[in-house]
Chain A
Amino acid sequence: DIHMTQSPSSLSASVGDRVTITCQASQDIGKYLNWYQQKLGKAPKLLIYDASNSETGVPSRFSGRGSGTDFTFTISSPQPEDSATYYCQQYDNLPLTFGGGTKVEIK
Chain B
Amino acid sequence: EVQLVQSGAEVKKPGESLRISCKSSGYRFTDYWISWVRQMPGKGLEWMGRIDPSDSYTTYSPSFQGHVIISADKSINTAYLQWNSLKASDTAMYYCARHCASSTCYIFDYWGQGTLVTVSS
| A residues in contact (CB < 8 Å) with B | 32, 34, 36, 38, 43-46, 49-50, 55, 87, 89, 91, 94-101
Complex alpha-carbon distance, A89 and B47, angstroms: 10
Main secondary structure of the interface of B (DSSP, over half): loop
Interchain CB contact under 8 A, B63 and A95 = yes
CA distance in complex: A100, B97 (Å): 19
**Are A98 and B108 in touch, CB under 8 angstroms?**
no
Summarize A's interface: helix, strand, loop or mixed. Answer: loop
Q: How many Å lie between the Cα of A101 and that of B45 in the bound state?
A: 8
Q: Is the CB of A34 within 8 A of B47?
A: no
B53 interface residue per 8 A CB criterion: no
Distance of A104 from chain B, by nearest CB (Å): 15
CB pair A44–B111 under 8 Å, yes or no, is: yes
Find chain B residues with CB under 8 A from A100 CB.
44
B109 on interface, CB distance cutoff 8 Å? yes
Q: Which residue of chain B is the closest to A87 with respect to CB atoms?
A: B45
Name the residue on B nearest A44 (C-beta).
B111
